[in-house]
């Protein structure tokens, strides 16, 4: 297994064990600095979103580019060996994500996806999340006061 595959496997394993991944922690810290209040590890919603902002009716998924197939992303490559295994797995993951997204939207939630590779640039991520929430329902009171 090459280095990238190992990194992605470790992402997957931390997911399975229910530990917070580094990109999740980054997104949480950005949201926190923007003044948002949120919950994490909320059970009982389709797909168990990583971050839930009940007041805004927004859920955030922090997706690993490899497992969730970030389109056009260099991390969403397909390993050369076991091609059929990987394409089955990827297809399954993508189908599950879109199913969960539909369910959530039907329940009245807005679904925001942050890709793992987008968490490297904190400034860009901050701008993007601020813009996303502004579009949803204006800035939160905490930010508007500043």
55/39 Cα distance (integer angstroms): 11
Q: Which is nearer to Zn ion, 75 or 132 (CB)?
A: 75
Name the strands in the sheet holding 39-40, side by side, starting at the edge strand that comes first in the sequence: 39-40, 51-53, 58-63, 110-115
Asked if 114 interacts with Zn ion (CB under 5 A), we say: no
Asked if 65 interacts with Zn ion (CB under 5 A), we say: yes
Asked if 94 interacts with Zn ion (CB under 5 A), we say: no
Q: If binding means CB under 5 A, how many residues of this protein chain bind Zn ion?
A: 6
Min separation Cβ 128 and Zn ion, Å: 13
Q: Where are the beta strands (DSSP E) in the chain?
A: 39-40, 51-53, 58-63, 110-115
Residue 51: φ, ψ to 5° = -140, 135
Asked if 129 interacts with Zn ion (CB under 5 A), we say: no
Contact at 8 Å (CB) between 118 and 128?
A: yes
Min separation Cβ 140 and Zn ion, Å: 27
Asked if 70 interacts with Zn ion (CB under 5 A), we say: yes
Q: Which is nearer to Zn ion, 67 or 115 (CB)?
A: 115
Residues in the site for Zn ion, rule: CB under 5 A? 65, 70, 73, 75, 115, 117
């Amino acid at each position: 297994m090459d280095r990238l595959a190992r990194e992605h496997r470790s992402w997957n394993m931390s997911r399975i064990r229910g530990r917070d991944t580094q990109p999740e922690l980054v997104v949480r810290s950005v949201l926190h600095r923007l003044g948002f209040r949120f919950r994490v590890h909320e059970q009982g919603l389709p797909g168990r979103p990583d971050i839930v902002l009940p007041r805004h009716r927004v859920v955030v998924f922090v997706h690993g580019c490899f497992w969730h197939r970030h389109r056009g992303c260099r991390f969403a490559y397909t390993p050369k060996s076991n091609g059929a295994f990987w394409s089955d797995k990827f297809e399954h993951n993508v189908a599950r994500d879109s199913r969960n997204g539909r369910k959530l939207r039907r329940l009245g939630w807005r679904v925001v996806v942050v890709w793992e590779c987008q968490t490297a640039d904190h400034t860009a991520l901050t701008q993007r999340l601020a813009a996303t929430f502004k579009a949803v329902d204006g800035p939160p009171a905490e930010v508007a006061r500043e």
